[in-house]
Structure 1
Amino acid sequence: MRVLIVEDEPNLRQQLQSTLEGAGYAVDVAADGEEGHFLGSTESYDAVVLDLGLPEIDGLTVLDRWRKEGKVMPVLVLTARDSWSDKVAGLDAGADDYVAKPFQTEELIARLRALIRRASGNASAELVAGDIRLDTRSGKVTKSGDPVKLTAQEYKLLSYLLHHKGKVVSRTELIEHIYDQDFDRDSNTIEVFVTRIRKKLGADTITTIRGLGYSLEDEGQEAAQ
Structure 2
Amino acid sequence: MPIFDARDILSFPGGNNASDTIIGGINFNLTTLNHWNYTLYTNGTLSNNSNCFLTFAPYTPHLLANGTFLNTTSCYSPLKGIGNRAKPGIALGVFFGLSLVFTMVNLRKHGKLFLPSEKRFHAIGRRWQWYWMLWVAACGMASGFTSVDVDRYYLPEWPLILNSIFWYLMIPSTLAIVWESVRHWGSWQERQLIDPDPFVLSQNDKRGRREFYMPLVFYGFGFL
TM-score (norm 2): 0.24
**Higher helix residue share:** 2
TM-score (norm 1): 0.24
**Higher strand residue share:** 1
Larger radius of gyration: 2
